Chains A and B, each alone.
Chain A
Amino acid sequence: DQQVKQNSPSLSVQEGRISILNCDYTNSMFDYFLWYKKYPAEGPTFLISISSIKDKNEDGRFTVFLNKSAKHLSLHIVPSQPGDSAVYFCAARAGSYQLTFGKGTKLSVIP
Chain B
Amino acid sequence: DAMVIQNPRYQVTQFGKPVTLSCSQTLNHNVMYWYQQKSSQAPKLLFHYYDKDFNNEADTPDNFQSRRPNTSFCFLDIRSPGLGDAAMYLCATSRDLGSSYEQYFGPGTRLTVT
Contacts and interface: CB of A to CB of B under 8 A. Distances in A.
A101 B100 CA distance: 13
Interface string B82-114: 000000001010100100111111111000000
Given A34-B101, A49-B102, A93-B100, A99 B108 contact: no
B41 A45 contact: no
B111 to A, nearest CB: 15
Interface stretch (A14-22, A36-44, A57-65, A78-86): A36-44
B27 interface: no
Contacts of B104: 46
Contacts, number: 55
A98 B100 contact: yes
Given A93-B100, A97-B48, A45 B43 contact: no
A44 B105 CA distance: 6
Contacts of B90: 43-44
Q: How large is the interface on A (under 10, 10 to 19, 20 to 34, 35 or more residues)?
A: 20 to 34
Given A49-B101, A49-B102, A98-B100, A103 B41 contact: yes
A32 B103 CA distance: 13
Contact of A4 (B31, B42, B50, B100): B42
A104 to B, nearest CB: 7
Nearest to B98: A97
B101 A89 contact: no
B4 interface: yes
B74 to A, nearest CB: 14
B19 interface: no
A82 B108 CA distance: 24
Nearest to A3: B42
Interface of B: 4, 6, 9, 31, 40-45, 48, 50, 57, 90, 92, 94, 97, 100-108
12 contacts: A2-B42, A9-B40, A41-B107, A43-B6, A43-B107, A45-B105, A46-B103, A89-B43, A97-B97, A98-B100, A101-B43, A103-B40
